[in-house]
């Protein structure tokens, strides 16, 4: 009897994680997720280069021809365009590939805290988004001399960085639907048309009326409105867009969770 109680006591102590070790597991997961992508230029370079090069070409060199506010307008648009990528690709492509390659299966079999997996990818997406927006802000201030107040610059930074989250959720959902190496193509088919239809490359007003009315359907439209508010070109309210983005995030997470629970 004595031996039994002792061995039971040993067992509970050997399976209980101390809070410090649990936090450690989260930190290790975050660290691994960031390190593995920082060492993979094929992921990082396009996500950094596309928005910055586009901004340089269309926002700064060619933009001035469209009026004095063009660099300011395109700072918001390309920040939105830029932060969509780490969310959509970081979650969508990596989940699709990790489901295919068996990594997700292994992690589910191992005693990894389930949320740590998503946390790691989310931190990586937030960091990538920070780098993108910081670069764009630097270009706007130094190269294009956009007269942004400190408050406007700060608001632009945080709006865009947090704006990555709905696209993480969207990527998560898409990644739960598709598997394998075809994922980047599928994500691009969502990413690029959505950017175009949300008025990130051209103002929506030059598109046909029907497409203009479709604008508010896309989450990127709402993030762009928030970014325009932040740089000082906003016309509409803030909270309505925040609300729409929050709903998008919640719905995509719920759909992805349901899909992953059923199909793994």
Partner 1 sequence: MSHSHEPVARLIGTIKNYGALRALDGVDLMLHRGELLALLGPNGAGKSTAIGLLLGLTRADAGKAELFGRDPQNLEARRRIGVMLQSATLPATLHVGELLRLTASYYPSPRSLAESASLAGIGDLLKRPYAKLSGGQQRRVQFAMALCGRPELLFLDEPTVGMDIDARQALWAAIRRLVGEGCSVVLTTHYLEEAEALADRVCVLARGRVISEGSVDALRARVALKRVRCVTTLAPELLATWPEVSEVRQEGERVWLATAEAESLVRRLLAGDASLRELEVQRAGLAEAFTELTRDAGNEDILQREAA
**CB of 32 or CB of 149, closer to partner 1:** 32
Asked if 182 interacts with partner 1 (CB under 8 A), we say no
- Closest Cα partner for 245 from 165, 176, 181, 153? 165
Asked if 258 interacts with partner 1 (CB under 8 A), we say no
In the complex, minimum distance from the CB of residue 136 to partner 1, in angstroms, rounded to a whole number: 27
Residue 140: partners with Cβ closer than 8 Å, 6 or more residues away = 55, 59, 71, 72, 75, 146, 148
C-beta pairs of 55-63 under 8 Å, 24+ apart in sequence: 55/136, 55/139, 55/140, 56/139, 56/143, 58/201, 59/140, 59/144, 60/139, 60/143, 60/144, 63/144
Q: How many residues bind partner 1 (CB under 8 A)?
A: 35
Residue 20: partners with Cβ closer than 8 Å, 6 or more residues away = none
String of contacts with partner 1 for each residue 38-67, x by CB under 8 A: -xx---------------------------
**Binding to partner 1, residues 85-124 (CB under 8 A):** 97-98, 101-103, 105-106, 108-113
Identify the helix (H) or strand (E) that includes residue 81. Answer: helix 70-87
In the complex, minimum distance from the CB of residue 134 to partner 1, in angstroms, rounded to a whole number: 24
Q: Please check whether residue 227 is in contact with residue 83, taking contact to mean a CB–CB distance below 8 angstroms.
A: no
Helix (H, G, I), strand (E, B) or coil at 113: coil
Burial label, 228 (beta-carbon count in 10 A; 0-12, 13-18, 19+): buried
Stretch that binds partner 1, among 8-16, 148-156, 162-170, 190-198 (CB under 8 A): 8-16
Stretch that binds partner 1, among 19-27, 77-85, 225-233, 252-260 (CB under 8 A): 19-27
In the complex, minimum distance from the CB of residue 180 to partner 1, in angstroms, rounded to a whole number: 11
**CB of 67 or CB of 264, closer to partner 1:** 264
In the complex, minimum distance from the CB of residue 252 to partner 1, in angstroms, rounded to a whole number: 24
Stretch that binds partner 1, among 27-35, 46-54, 219-227, 236-244 (CB under 8 A): 27-35
Contact positions vs partner 1 (CB under 8 A): 1, 4, 7-8, 14-18, 21, 24-25, 27-29, 32, 35-37, 39-40, 97-98, 101-103, 105-106, 108-113, 264
């Amino acid at each position: 009897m004595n031996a039994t109680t002792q061995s039971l006591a040993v067992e509970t102590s050997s399976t209980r994680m101390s809070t410090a070790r649990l936090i450690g597991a989260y930190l290790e997961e975050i660290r691994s997720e960031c390190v593995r992508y920082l060492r993979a230029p094929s992921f990082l370079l396009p996500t950094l280069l596309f928005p910055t090069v586009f901004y340089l070409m269309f926002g700064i060199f060619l933009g001035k021809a469209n009026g004095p506010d063009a660099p300011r307008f395109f700072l918001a648009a390309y920040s939105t365009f830029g932060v969509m990528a780490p969310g959509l690709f970081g979650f969508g492509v990596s989940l699709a590939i990790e489901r295919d390659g068996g990594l997700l299966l292994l992690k589910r079999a191992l005693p990894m805290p389930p949320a740590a997996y998503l946390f790691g990818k989310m931190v990586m997406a937030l960091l990538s988004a920070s780098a993108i927006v910081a670069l764009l802000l630097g270009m706007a201030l130094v190269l294009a001399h956009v007269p942004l107040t400190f408050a406007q610059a700060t608001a632009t930074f945080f709006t865009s960085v947090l704006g990555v989250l709905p696209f993480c959720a969207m990527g998560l959902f898409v990644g739960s639907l598709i598997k394998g190496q075809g994922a980047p193509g599928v994500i691009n088919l969502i990413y690029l048309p959505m950017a175009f239809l949300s008025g990130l490359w051209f103002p929506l007003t030059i598109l046909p009326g029907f497409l203009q009315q479709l604008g508010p359907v896309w989450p990127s439209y709402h993030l762009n409105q928030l970014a325009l508010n932040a740089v000082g070109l906003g016309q509409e309210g803030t909270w309505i867009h925040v609300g729409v983005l929050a709903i998008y995030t919640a719905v995509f997470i719920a759909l992805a969770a349901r899909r992953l629970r059923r199909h793994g």
